[in-house]
Amino acid sequence: LTRKDLLPKGRRDRTLFIVMTVMTPAITLFELLVVLPQYHDSIDALVCLHSVLAVFIVVNILGNMYRVIQIGTGVRDSGCQLPAVLLPGWRYCPVCQVNAPPRSHHCNVCDQCILKHDHHCMFAGRCVGFFNQRYFVMGLVYIFFGTLYSLIYQLDYCVASMGGMRLFFLLGQLAPHFGWLLGVFGWRGFFCSTLNLFQMLTVALSGYMLVVQAQGIWTNQTTYERRHGIVRYHAGLRRNLREALGTSWYLVWLGPWVRSPALGDGLRFDNGIEALVEGKRL
């Protein structure tokens, strides 16, 4: 991908993308270079463990999100062969001027039909669909647990920077600028309270999105299908996992470089009951 292809087209998507790609390594450097030395006087096994975990988490966040952007999941990007005639369950998209398969929807931002369209990710500036859902889900997992880990790890440092655990500490988490303007804490306390607030919002948002994705994988539903009560593709948890996270779904947590192709081609989907019967025969 070139830099032009990497950056999202819309202003909103581009802003959120820059925030994610800048804040992720910036917070990690703050933890390793500022917070960690306050807890340890020398380099020991625990310091090495925290450092390795931090790097592993950051690589997985940025690596998975890069793959979300890199892997095309649209009818044009994927290079799939579409039929010239309208098949049962398919529909014609007048914008793309192609016959679009079941579970696909047109995204006005990406300007094409997306295979097994789930939603448009504003942080990546790309749609989440059949071929890149695995990377989006794992990126969410590491954003949630990485931010929670960072929030807990820096708690003692932030409490000390804000003058100890007291009522103003709790109020400062909700409105850091008021605490700074009123002289409750200095610039370091303001920075820590702002960082804490940002991370708490990130944990809440990523946690919510992770629950939504887990529900969709559990029942093999896209966002549209959940809203409209469509459950015809639910074929058991194991098959659902293989379709969403790939055939090596149990290894994808290791990193975006692990090969785990999605089950299917994104064009044809078995009815859930038929898939369950076929699975029992096998």
In this prediction, residues 235-250 reach a mean pLDDT of 94
Amino acid identity, position 97? Q
The band of 277, judged by pLDDT with boundaries at 50, 70 and 90, is very low
Cα dist from 149 to 3, 62, 143, 199, 270, whole Å: 31, 17, 10, 10, 40
CA distance 113 to 179: 48
The phi, psi pair for 100, rounded to 5°, reads -95, 140
What is the predicted pLDDT for the residue at 282?
40
The answer to which of 107-121, 129-143, 176-190 has the lowest mean pLDDT is 176-190
d(CA 233, CA 272): 4
pLDDT in tens, 7-60: 888 889 999 999 999 999 999 999 999 999 999 988 899 999 999 999 999 999
pTM: 0.89
Q: Hey, which residues are catalytic here?
A: 121
Q: How confident is the model at residue 181 (pLDDT cuts 50, 70, 90)?
A: low
Note the pLDDT tens digit of each residue in 208-241: 999 999 999 999 999 999 999 999 999 899 999 9
Name which residue leads in pLDDT, 251 or 190: 251
What average pLDDT does the segment 116-122 reach?
Answer: 95
φ, ψ dihedrals at 256, nearest 5°? -70, -15
Mapped onto helix, strand or coil, the DSSP state of residue 84 is coil
Closest listed residue to residue 129, CA positions, set 13, 276, 28, 264: 264
Q: What is the pLDDT of residue 159?
A: 82
Write the single-letter amino acid at 274.
Answer: E
What value does the mean pLDDT take over residues 54-75?
Answer: 94
